[in-house]
Structure 1
Amino acid sequence: MSKPLRLIVLLGLVIIIGYFLKEAVFSDDAYLASIKKGRIEKNQSFKSSSSPLEEAERVTFDSLNYFPADRKFQVDADYEPLPKPDTIKIPMTTGNSEAYLRFAKAHFNLDGQRVGLTLFLKANAEDSTFFVPFTDRTNGSETYEGGRFMDIPKPAPGESIITLDFNKAYNPFCVFNYNYSCPIPPAENRLPIAVRAGEKSYAKK
């Protein structure tokens, strides 16, 4: 291969590599910006009349506490709809229970371990979003002792992969106001790892 031709090939490789690096960097920047935007909007909503906070507390509310957003906590999981979804009663913090449909399983790698979560739908309701209550080893120290929730879009029929974004994990409303009744994550959704992503504990003032 002649020297000019080698230079052209090398230049082409540099351009291609630079393009993919640029795409990766900007993609991450856009993702992190979207997480930041969502958190700002939620802080604003907590200052409004639709907030779960009592009126007196809304006046002094500044912001919720979060772990820094980290792309590694946005994971692709193997999606397995259950062949025969069953209805279970999930206990609530106020002592009653609510019916949920055990619809699917999601298995994924996180923190060097293979783990899984059950994906629920509210029974007798039209819903295109999975409800995913879970606990992990940060509960009671860095996060709310009762666990946290995620809302995950339901994939199209035939899909085998679903994305779980723990950066969007959030506290139930009963953390902020004891008048709310919140589902208690079932035993099958107790993760044996520390998930340092999403919303942290909330300290009442």
Structure 2
Amino acid sequence: MKTSQILLIVVALVVLAAVAYTFTATESPEDYIEKIEKERERQFKFIRFNIESPLTEEQKRNFTKLTFFDIDPQYKVKARVIPIENKKVREIPLTDGSKQRYIEHAYAEFELEGKTNKLLLLQAMDEADKRNFFLAFADATSAGETYGGGRYLNVRQDGKNSITIDFNLAYNPYCAYNPDFACPIPPKENILDIPILAGEKNYK
């Protein structure tokens, strides 16, 4: 084989490797941290300035920051989606005693803190995109470092049988800031006995 042919083969392999990397490489740790920080900044600005913020005008005047755990990539987990075959409508209690209806869609099963955990994925009755889910959960930090009524995540199915749950994006319900708001209470299936040291801390 001629030297020129060998060189062409090597170049072709390098190009293929570069293409494969482009399609398979995950974001760098720096990019990931920057993305979470931008989302946290967006949350702060919404709570501080938006007309739909749960804060009263008096609260806004004294509001300077939201408090979060340090960003920890181990709390971004890939979960297995276990469909619920006979999907039912579930009435989730709210903090004011009323109820809100959701569809029990599936369970998300994942490994964290050395054990297998499972959370119920709920879907709003009027959700147009069937890959979007509402996840309300409580954990061993609830009523301590985090809000006693639990925290929320908006998650989106990103694989045929998988979904990414990033607890670094966990946020407080409106009633954590203002008791005049009614918020869904995490279902019993979503009360974890492990601490989730990620996401938003309690509002004080």
Who is 1:3 aligned against?
Answer: none
**Alpha-carbon offset, residue 47 of structure 1:** 1.6
Matches of 2:105 and 2:26 in 1, distance apart?
A: 36
**Structure 1 residue ranges without an equivalent (≥5):** 1-15
Distance in 2 (alpha carbons) for counterparts of 1:25 and 1:116: 25
The two structures, once aligned, show a CA RMSD in angstroms of 2.0
1:105 maps to which of 107, 114, 126:
107
Residue by residue, what CA displacement relative to the aligned partner does 1:116-153 show, whole Å, maximum 9, x if unpaired? 00100012443442000011000111101111111001
Matching residue of 1:143 = 146
- Could you tell me the TM-score, scaled by structure 1's length? 0.83
Structure 2 counterpart SS, 1:33? helix
SS of the residue 1:85 aligns to: coil
Over 3 Å counting, the alpha-carbon distance change for 1:98 and 1:112 in structure 2 is same
Q: 1:89 maps to which residue?
A: 91
1:35 is the counterpart of 2:18? no
Number of aligned pairs?
181
Alpha-carbon separation, structure 1, partners of 2:87 and 2:102: 10
Distance across 2 between alignment mates of 1:140 and 1:24: 39
The superposition leaves residues 56-97 of structure 1 with CA deviations (integer Å, 9 ceiling, x where unpaired) of 111121111100011000000111221111111100000011
2:158·2:164 contact (CA, 8 Å) conserved in 1? Answer: no
Give the CA deviation at 1:155.
Answer: 3.9
Structure 2 gap ranges (5+): 1-16
1:26 Cα deviation after fit: 6.4
Inter-CA distance 26–84: structure 2 relative to 1 (3 Å threshold): closer
Corresponding position: 1:134 with 2:137: yes
- Length-normalised TM-score, structure 2: 0.83
Separation in structure 1 between the aligned mates of residue 104 and residue 29 of structure 2, nearest angstrom: 33
Report if aligned partners of 1:139, 1:147 keep a CA contact under 8 Å in 2. yes
Q: Deviation at 1:40?
A: 1.0
Note if contact 1:121-1:127 (Cα within 8 Å) is conserved in structure 2: no
CA 60–24 in structure 1, closer or farther in 2 if over 3 Å, else same = farther
In structure 2, distance between residues paired with 1:122 and 1:132: 11
Q: Quick one: structure 1 residues 96 and 127, their matched pair in 2 at CA, closer, same or farther if it must change by over 3 Å?
A: farther
Indicate which of 62, 65, 78 corresponds to 2:64: 62
1:184 aligns with 185
Percentage identity across aligned positions?
36
> Structure 1: how far apart are the matches of 2:158 and 2:87?
16
Give the 3-state SS of the residue equivalent to 1:84 in structure 2. coil
CA distance in 2, matches of 1:105, 1:59: 41
Compared CA separation, residues 131 and 26, structure 1 to 2 (3 A): closer
